[in-house]
Amino acid sequence: MSARSYLDWNASAPLRPEARAAMVAAMEIAGNASSIHAEGRAVRALIERARAQVSAALGADGADIVFTSGATEAAALACAGRGLHCAGVEHDAVAAWCAVDLPVDAQGRVTVTDPAKGVLQLANSETGIVQDLPPGLVMSDATQAFGKLPFAFNWLGTDMALVSAHKLGGPKGVGALALRRGLDVTAQIKGGGQEMGRRAGTENVIGIAGFGAAAEAAARDLANGVWDRVAEVRNILEQALEADCPGIILLGKDQPRLPNTSCVIAPGWKGETQVMTMDLAGFAVSAGSACSSGKVSASRVLQAMGLDTSDAGCALRVSIGPDTGREDVLRFAAVYARAWNRARERQKQAGSDLPRHKTG
């Protein structure tokens, strides 16, 4: 049996060795960061080093970095009680705190009518589509873009941004909110005075250490052109799929996208069936955001872009990373093409016309 290929990096990137080493080292340090003795000061120094690493990688010099349990908690901290507006392409963790009423076009582009009350992601986890952020924006979800795209929080023109460690090779269960200096938020977890009074609770020191190390390593990879090479492999995948899979749609292909993300729509072939078929063949892929997995419904993101429920339910996300090789994607494309053509043949034998792609 062939070795498995992990093609679901947008769900969670493999743990970087730098993060693992930092976490192991952090396990050896006793003490609480709120204690003033030597052991406590050592833990505090470790946290502040990680804060500086995340800040540098994020281009957030002069901003406040608040560590959280992940981007979901960071979204609550940023958005609660502000009366914000977002589009239907936002992650559920953000949309839960906003009025979801901003217009989206068929290419996934969002119009923010009032930046002073607006929220807009930097890149979409399902389609990879990258947005142009208007100046004066309240908050941006930079979770998927962080470590993959060159940007700096300081020149995004937004007051706040969310990031998460495990999307760039850090541990799961830790994230951060970047805040423009001088801006404050209302703590959603109350108790102690940790994280500048914005997030109570003893810090996840091991996770924070791993996050800092992963952010530093991710910034180095980005500067060294690693993700340019990932984009080349992604393009090889899409060329192979277009050549051998008649009738599929590569959503957002002509739009600015993350370098690693392909959203494939195979009309009439359910996304969850595609995922199971490819899993059995040795490939880890997904039918959308990992946080929405298990919900038997069409992608809310794709429906916001104007696709009908039939097509939106037939999407597959392939998201690759620096460890993905040309041979991985070509093998995936070959297996996928055989399965897709078998599915098309079954549809023809059943006497049904293939559904047609609709975008509005």
Domain definitions of the chain by residue range: 5-12+227-349, 17-223
**Residue owning tokens 């839960």:** 96
Quick check: 238 and 254 in contact, CB under 8 A?
no
From the options 3.20.20.70, 3.90.105.10, 3.40.47.10, 3.40.640.10, give the CATH code of 17-223. 3.40.640.10
The token duo for 93 is 């963790």
Q: CATH 3.90.1150.10: does it fit domain 5-12+227-349?
A: yes
The whole model's pTM is what? 0.92
Per residue in 2-42, pLDDT (tens digit) is 689 999 999 999 999 999 999 999 999 999 888 899 999 99
* Cα–Cα distance, 222 to 240 (Å, whole number): 26
The token duo for 227 is 């993700």
Query: Which residues have a catalytic role annotated?
Result: 291
Per residue in 118-162, pLDDT (tens digit) is 999 999 999 999 999 999 999 999 999 999 999 999 999 999 999
Quick check: 234 and 10 in contact, CB under 8 A?
no
Per residue in 164-193, pLDDT (tens digit) is 999 999 999 999 999 999 998 988 888 888
Which one, of 168, 163, 107, 172, lies nearest residue 140 by Cα?
A: 163
Which one, of 246, 230, 261, lies nearest residue 343 by Cα?
A: 246
